[in-house]
Amino acid sequence: MGSRSSEQSSRVGTFVERDIKTRRGPDGLHVFGRRSGLNILADEVEIPPTEWDRAPRHVSIALTNACDLSCSFCYAPKARRSLDFGRVLSWIEELDREGCLGVGFGGGEPTLYRRLPELCEYAARKTSLAVSITSHGHFDNKLINELRGNVHFIRISMDGTSSTYESIRQRKFGALLEKLGPIGRIVPFGINVVVNARTLLALDDVIQVAHEFGACELALLPEVPNSRSGGIDEATKAALMEWICQYRGRVRICVSESGSVGLPVCNPCSKETGLRAYAHIDASGSLKRCSYDEKGTEIGPKGIIDAIQELQADGEGNEK
Q: Please state the domain count of the chain.
A: 1
Q: How confident is the model at residue 258 (pLDDT cuts 50, 70, 90)?
A: confident
Residue 286 counted as domain residue: yes
Residue 141 counted as domain residue: yes
Which of 172-181, 186-195, 308-317 shows the lowest mean pLDDT across its residues?
308-317
Residue 178 counted as domain residue: yes
Give residue-wise pLDDT tens across range 60-71: 999 999 888 777
Q: Which residue range(s) make up the domain with 86?
A: 55-313
Predicted confidence (pLDDT) at residue 5 exceeds the cutoff of 50: no
Q: Is the dihedral of CA 108, 111, 116, 121 positive or negative?
A: positive
Residue 21 counted as domain residue: no
Quick one: pLDDT at residue 172? 94
Burial class (CB in 10 A: 0-12, 13-18, 19+), 271: middle
CATH number of the domain to which 193 belongs? 3.20.20.70
Quick one: pLDDT at residue 12? 36
Predicted confidence (pLDDT) at residue 316 exceeds the cutoff of 70: no
**Region of residue 25 (phi > 0: left; psi between -120 and 50: alpha; otherwise: beta):** beta
Distance CA(189)–CA(168), nearest Å, equals: 21
Give residue-wise pLDDT tens across range 35-76: 999 999 999 999 999 999 999 999 999 999 988 877 766 666
Predicted confidence (pLDDT) at residue 10 exceeds the cutoff of 90: no
Residue 59 counted as domain residue: yes
Residue 16 counted as domain residue: no
Distance CA(60)–CA(55), nearest Å, equals: 12
Predicted confidence (pLDDT) at residue 94 exceeds the cutoff of 90: yes
Predicted confidence (pLDDT) at residue 14 exceeds the cutoff of 60: no
Distance CA(11)–CA(19), nearest Å, equals: 13
Residue 7 counted as domain residue: no
Give residue-wise pLDDT tens across range 200-243: 999 999 999 999 999 999 999 998 887 667 789 999 999 999 99
Mean pLDDT computed over every residue of the chain: 89
Q: Is the dihedral of CA 261, 262, 264, 270 positive or negative?
A: positive
Residue 22 counted as domain residue: no
Give residue-wise pLDDT tens across range 134-187: 999 999 889 999 999 999 999 999 989 999 999 988 899 999 999 999 999 999
Residue 52, Cβ neighbours under 10 Å: how many? 15
Edge-to-edge strand list for the sheet holding 58-62: 252-255, 217-222, 189-195, 153-157, 130-135, 102-106, 58-62, 278-281, 286-288, 297-298
**Percent of the chain residues past pLDDT 90, beyond the cut:** 75
